[in-house]
């Protein structure tokens, strides 16, 4: 297997609720912070779930990664998971942690839709939040290996692209972190 210019492995943990948007945006932010500062800090998905209420994001009932990134900017950063732990449920915003922002971002950009070349360029530098069709039963029951199920355009699930690989047999595939 050949790994195409990926700086690190950006995998961590998973979740069983509808907050993929929070997990994907936090994973990308953690990776960017590690690249910039050399520290991999576990950030709080729960802060996004609880506090990002003035947007189209609805905690455990789906949301948008762009809203998550905008919240991190507007909030002056995001707290770490030690101070604001994940509890697998919607909760009230703990405003006491707002002053504990440990990682900030100054902006974000959308990768052009359907441009694998653009995505490959960015993923070779950092993890990227991406939207996929996660509704297919083949994907729902995916257990490992290279996913070869159908590819549809109903974007309903956020994951983090963490690499692009080429197997020894020439099979090309994206390495995704799924919540």
Does the annotation count 157 as an active-site position? Answer: yes
The DSSP code sequence of 138-168 is HHHT--SS---S---S---EEEEEEEEEE-T
Does the annotation count 20 as an active-site position? Answer: yes
Catalytic residue among 9, 51, 157, 165: 157
Distance CA 92, CA 46 (A): 10
According to DSSP, the residues that pair with 176 across neighbouring strands are: 161
Mean pLDDT is highest, among 26-30, 141-145, 151-155, 165-169, for 26-30
Higher pLDDT, 179 or 13: 179
Domain chopping of the chain, boundaries: 2-177
Catalytic residue among 20, 33, 51, 80: 20
> What confidence tens digit (pLDDT) does each residue in 39-77 have?
999 999 999 999 987 766 666 777 889 999 999 999 999
pTM for this entry: 0.86
Helix then strand count (H, E) for the chain reads: 5, 4
Q: Any alpha helices (H) in 38-177, and if so which ranges?
A: 45-51, 65-74, 116-123, 137-140
Question: Any idea which architecture 2-177 has in CATH?
Answer: Alpha-Beta Complex (3.90)
Q: 21: part of which helix (H) or strand (E)? A: helix 20-37
> What confidence tens digit (pLDDT) does each residue in 68-121 have?
999 999 999 999 999 999 988 888 888 765 558 899 999 999 999 889 999 999
Percent helix, strand and coil across the chain, each rounded to 5?
A: 30, 15, 55
In terms of DSSP bridges, do strands 128-132 and 2-3 run parallel, antiparallel, or are they unpaired? unpaired
- Cβ atoms of 153 and 113 closer than 8 Å: no
Catalytic residue among 75, 94, 100, 178: 178
């Amino acid at each position: 297997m050949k790994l195409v210019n990926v700086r690190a492995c950006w995998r961590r943990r998973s979740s069983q609720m509808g907050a993929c948007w929070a997990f994907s945006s936090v994973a990308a932010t953690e990776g960017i912070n590690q690249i910039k500062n050399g520290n991999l800090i576990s950030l709080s998905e729960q802060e996004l779930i609880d506090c990002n209420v003035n947007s189209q994001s609805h905690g455990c009932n789906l949301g948008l990664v762009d809203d998550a990134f905008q919240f991190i900017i507007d909030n002056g950063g995001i707290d770490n998971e030690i101070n604001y732990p994940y509890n697998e449920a919607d909760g009230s915003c703990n405003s006491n942690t707002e002053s504990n922002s440990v990682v900030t971002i100054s902006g974000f950009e959308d990768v052009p839709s359907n441009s694998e070349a653009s995505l490959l360029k960015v993923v070779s530098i950092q993890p990227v939040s991406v939207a996929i069709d996660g509704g297919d039963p083949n994907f729902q029951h995916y257990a490992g290996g290279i996913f070869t199920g159908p590819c549809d355009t109903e974007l309903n699930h956020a994951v983090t692209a963490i690499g692009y690989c080429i197997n020894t047999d020439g099979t090309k595939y994206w390495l995704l972190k799924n919540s």
